[in-house]
Structures are given as structure tokens and as C-alpha cells.
């Protein structure tokens, strides 16, 4: 039955049916076949109960925060400053891509918003400075994935909702892996450009005076990160309240830069409403599907199947990793998380390995979601970066350029499995 569900899911996705509709169709069909349609009347009560979750309010707040940062010109100033500080490394502006994505991710919470924002600002530099287009575009797609790992993260909020895991602990757990992963991305760029110096483009001329003068342009995203994450760990605000504080700070920063006006706010609100509606449709459709699967006994059947294989805990985790890497080639990350975590999470917790905690697994799942974002044929960030190309070109350029960063990401996944404390050390230090 689980295999049939997966095949049905893939067929509908490949047929270009919207993901929210796919999950809804599967829910109703499975309910009709297995339960005679008896669960459908509970739909309204389930949706009403879940829609009252206070933590979900943080989702549109973080989306709005990213929209305001984009439209207020904060990202453009930040990127120009990162050029001054990082362009001396082999690979030049590609390091500014990774650095800007890391900083922007620390205030937006969205991979798509991160890739689109930094990509729009950075793309003209490819031709202007003679970079290898494939590697440059790959750095943008890969850097954008940091949006769901570096706190604050929308995906971590939803994981916390699905598994009843502390969101503040998840945010702390994402910091060290996020820093390590961004460093691995930069090392990949250095290795590629040392091997082929021509890929690194023409050097940017700068002075220490220019670097010092541009430091104020790095302050807005840092202030936003401090306001959002700092308010959580200072005990001032919950994650939802912290997201609202971030929006207020972003509006004040936009006013300071004199980019705050009614048109900008209207565009930001419209973009937020469209993105939020899409996410919530997928979330609620997946919640009902998980409800149906629970009544069908799929979770218990999967637990029994894994137990009967006789695998060690590490082998079980590696099997799950392979499963997600394969699934990520065909499914959008949010829907993949919503449909699989309620089934896979109990399997991991049943391993009874203290190091493989709910917080650790949240970071592992997020890394696997990141890999899915740059894995063809349905890697969302690949399409986002491909979409910003004004000169046109083949989609394969972005996919091929992302391969070195995908390898680095797989290395990070193996590191996290070998050393779970990379994710759990900070939460244990602060909360235990």
C-alpha cells in the first residue's frame, strides 16, 4: 500500500497537477477505498483544530519579512558589501553569493526567497566580470538552500509542528551545521577555481577604506537576525512574536533608507498572500492525508517493515537518507516533508539511540530538503535561478553548476550522521 501511494503521488506530480491538489486527491481516494469515506466528514474539524496553532502565524510573518527586505533594497546593499569583503578569494563574487545567501537566510526563513533575491542582484555580474556561468548559477541555487537551515526557518517551524519538537531548540541546532555547510560551499568554489582559474572571473579592485565604508550596509540583516533570534533566546518573545518583531524592524529599516511607500508595502503584502496561500494549501492537504494514513495503519506497517529488515540504527538512517534523496528528485520539499515526516519520524525515534534525537533528526531532514532543492528534475531552486536569466540558456546549465555543491551537501549529511553533536551541542548547552 505504501508503495502504491508513493507511485500514485509521483504520477500525479509528474502530470503537473498542483501539489496541494495531489495530496487532496490522494486523501479522498484512500479514505474512500480503505475506510469507505468515513473520515471525510472530519475534514472541517481537523482543519479548524490545526489552523488555530499559534506557531503557524510565524509562516506569513517570515515571508513578509523577506518580501520587505527584497523590495526595500536591503539585499542589494548587503550584496555590494559582501563583494568588498569576500571577492579576494579564488572565485571572487561567487563567495559573495554564498555569504549574502547566508546572511539573508538568517532573516528571511525561505530558500526560494533567498535564491531569488540574491540571484536577481548578482546575475548581471556573470557577463560583466567573465565568470563561468554554470558554476556561478550553481552557487546561487546552492546558497539559496541555506534559507531553510539557518534560523529563522519556515521548514523548521513546520517540522516542529508535525513532531511536537521545540522550535527554539531547532533554531539553535541549525546554526553550526549552517555555518559548516556555507564553508563547504566556499571550499568547493575555491577548489573549482584553483583547478580552472578562468572560471573565477576578473578580480574586483577594493581597498580597506572601501571595506570599512560599506560595513553599515551589513548592519540591517544583522540587526534583523539579532531582533528575531535574540528575542527568542532572551525569553522576550515566542517564535511567532519574534517574526512579528522582525517585520516591524524591517519596516523601520525601509523607512530609514527612504524606500518605504504604499506601493512597496502593497507589493510585499500581495507577494506574502500568494506564497502563504500556496504553503497553507499544501500544509492542510498533507495534514488530512497524514490523518488518513494513520487510520490505515501505514505508520505501524512501515515500522514493522523496517524492524524486520534487521538493520543497525546507522544503516536505518542511511536507508532513510537514500529514500529522501530519491524522493527529492520528484517532489517539492515542503510537500515531501509533510507527507513523509509523520511516517519516518516514529521509525527514527523507535531506534532508541540517544544521539538520534528529535532535534537532530529535524536538522538532518532539513539538509535532505536542501539537497532536494538542487536535485533535478524538480529542484525548485534550480528553476528559480534559471528563471532570473535575462539572456536565456538551458536549464542543464544550472543543474550541472549545482553538482559540486550537492556533493558538499552530501558530505555535510554524512558528517551530521557521524557526529550528531554538531546539531545537538548548542541546544543541550542552552536548555539542558
- In a domain? residue 204: yes
For residue 328, tell me if it sits in a domain: yes
Identify whether 242 is part of a domain.
yes
The gap between the terminal CA atoms of the chain, to the nearest Å, is 41
Establish if 48 belongs to a structural domain: no
Question: Is residue 29 included in any domain, yes or no?
Answer: no
pLDDT in tens, the chain (432 residues): 656 666 776 677 666 666 667 777 777 777 777 777 777 777 777 777 767 777 778 878 888 887 888 788 887 888 888 888 888 888 888 888 898 888 887 776 677 777 877 888 888 888 777 888 889 999 988 888 888 888 878 888 889 888 889 888 998 999 999 999 999 999 999 999 888 888 887 877 788 888 888 888 888 888 888 888 888 887 888 888 888 998 999 899 889 888 889 999 999 898 888 878 877 777 777 777 777 776 777 666 766 777 778 788 899 999 889 888 887 776 667 777 877 888 889 888 888 888 899 999 999 999 998 888 888 766 778 877 887 776 667 778 888 889 999 999 999 999 999 999 999 999 999 877
315: containing domain: 53-260+297-431
Q: Does any domain span residue 368?
A: yes
User: Phi/psi at 131 (nearest 5 deg)?
Assistant: -80, 155
Is 175 a domain residue?
yes
Q: pLDDT (tens digit, 9 = 90+) per residue, 116-148?
A: 778 888 888 887 778 888 899 999 888 888 888
User: Does a structural domain hold residue 321?
Assistant: yes
How many domains would you assign to the chain?
Answer: 1
Amino acid at each position: 500500500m505504501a508503495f502504491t501511494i508513493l507511485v500514485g503521488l509521483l504520477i500525479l506530480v509528474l502530470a503537473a497537477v498542483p501539489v496541494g491538489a495531489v495530496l487532496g486527491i490522494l486523501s479522498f481516494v484512500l479514505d474512500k477505498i480503505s475506510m469507505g469515506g468515513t473520515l471525510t466528514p472530519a475534514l472541517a474539524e481537523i482543519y479548524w483544530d490545526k489552523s488555530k496553532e499559534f506557531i503557524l502565524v510565524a509562516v506569513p510573518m517570515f515571508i513578509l519579512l523577506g518580501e520587505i527586505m527584497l523590495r526595500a533594497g536591503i539585499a542589494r546593499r548587503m550584496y555590494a558589501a559582501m563583494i568588498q569583503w569576500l571577492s579576494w578569494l579564488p572565485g571572487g563574487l561567487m563567495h559573495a553569493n554564498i555569504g549574502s545567501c547566508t546572511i539573508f537566510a538568517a532573516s528571511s526563513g525561505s530558500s526560494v526567497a533567498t535564491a531569488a533575491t540574491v540571484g536577481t542582484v548578482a546575475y548581471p555580474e556573470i557577463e560583466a566580470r567573465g565568470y563561468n556561468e554554470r558554476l556561478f548559477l550553481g552557487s546561487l541555487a546552492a546558497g539559496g538552500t541555506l534559507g531553510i537551515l539557518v534560523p529563522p526557518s519556515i521548514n523548521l517551524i513546520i517540522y516542529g509542528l508535525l513532531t511536537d519538537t521545540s522550535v527554539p531548540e531547532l533554531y539553535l541546532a541549525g546554526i553550526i551545521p549552517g555555518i559548516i555547510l556555507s564553508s563547504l560551499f566556499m571550499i568547493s568554489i575555491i577548489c573549482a577555481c584553483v583547478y580552472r582559474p578562468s572560471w573565477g572571473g576578473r578580480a574586483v579592485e577594493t581597498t580597506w577604506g572601501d571595506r570599512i565604508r560599506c560595513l553599515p550596509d551589513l548592519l540591517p540583516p544583522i540587526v534583523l537576525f539579532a531582533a528575531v533570534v535574540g528575542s527568542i533566546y532572551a525569553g522576550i518573545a515566542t517564535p511567532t512574536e519574534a517574526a512579528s518583531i522582525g517585520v516591524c524592524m524591517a519596516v523601520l529599516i525601509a523607512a530609514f533608507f527612504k524606500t518605504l511607500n504604499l506601493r512597496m508595502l502593497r507589493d510585499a503584502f500581495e507577494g506574502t498572500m500568494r506564497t502563504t496561500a500556496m504553503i497553507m494549501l499544501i500544509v492542510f492537504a498533507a495534514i488530512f492525508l497524514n490523518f488518513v494514513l494513520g487510520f490505515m495503519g501505514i505508520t505501524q506497517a512501515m515500522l514493522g517493515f523496517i524492524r524486520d529488515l534487521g538493520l543497525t540504527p546507522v544503516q536505518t538512517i542511511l536507508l532513510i537518507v537514500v529514500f529522501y534523496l530519491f524522493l527529492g528528485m520528484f517532489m517539492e520539499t515542503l510537500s515531501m516533508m509533510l507527507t513523509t515526516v509523520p511516517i519516518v519520524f516514529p521509525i527514527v525515534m523507535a531506534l532508541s539511540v540517544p544521539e538520534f534525537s528529535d532535534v537532530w533528526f529535524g536538522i538532518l531532514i532539513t539538509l535532505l530538503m536542501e539537497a532536494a532543492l538542487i536535485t533535478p528534475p524538480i529542484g525548485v531552486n534550480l528553476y528559480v535561478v534559471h528563471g532570473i536569466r535575462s539572456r536565456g540558456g538551458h536549464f542543464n546549465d544550472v543543474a550541472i553548476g549545482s553538482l559540486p555543491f550537492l556533493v558538499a551537501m552530501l558530505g555535510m549529511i554524512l558528517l551530521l550522521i557521524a557526529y550528531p553533536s554538531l546539531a545537538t551541542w548548542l541546544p543541550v548547552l542552552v536548555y539542558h
